[in-house]
Structure 1
Amino acid sequence: MERSETELMLKGYGLTTAEFTYHMPDYTHVLNTYVWQDYDLLPDHPKLFEFVEFWQREIEGPLHSVRFSHRKMISPGEWRNVKGVLTLH
């Protein structure tokens, strides 16, 4: 059963974006990029590493590098304790 994006975010998942730089299969001196996004967990990034393993196993273009960022979409709100109220005319 697939979970909705909101359910994933409430369980601590965040949006992971990765940029894969790889060598073209027929022209190994030429680099190309591929952008991948999915909801993943910090700090281990199991879905990202599963995709990297899939790439190395199934895709002909060998990886040159992978850059990624992770952003939690839902986080605790900021709360301030107000000790007084100032009234202006």
Structure 2
Amino acid sequence: MLLNGIERVVRIPDWRLTTAEILYRMPDHPAVLQTFVWQKVDHAPTFPELHGFLEFWRREIEGALYSVRVASAALWRPAEFTYAEGELRLH
């Protein structure tokens, strides 16, 4: 049952597994950076789930955000090719 639910989500266009590497400052030691890795199925390129999480972070967590690096399967697509209908011969 669970697999069917996951398959329905993954097949929606532009909803792909998204990973964010979040660097934040330690509340007690602001000079020290800590890493947090967030991963969820999200909609590229707007990333509403990630933006919601980052808003929650700003509201509820004391560690100030330093940087966020995002990687998503939707951002790494193979090049799209179009094939020409015709042939040009040079000798």
TM-score when scaled to structure 1? 0.74
In the TM superposition, residue 6 of structure 1 has moved relative to its aligned partner by 1.1
Aligned to 1:10: 11
Aligned to 1:83: none
Q: In the comparison of the two structures, how many residue pairs are matched?
A: 71
Distance 1:48 1:4 in 2: 21
CA RMSD of superposed structures (Å): 1.6
Q: 1:51 aligns with which of 53, 57, 65?
A: 53
Q: 2:31 aligns with which of 24, 29, 33?
A: 29
Which runs of 5 or more structure 1 residues have no equivalent in the other structure? Answer: 76-89
Distance 2:71 2:5 in 1: 21
In the TM superposition, residue 4 of structure 1 has moved relative to its aligned partner by 2.3
Distance 1:50 1:25 in 2: 22
Distance 1:33 1:21 in 2: 5
Q: 1:61 aligns with which of 60, 63, 67?
A: 63
Identical-pair percentage = 45
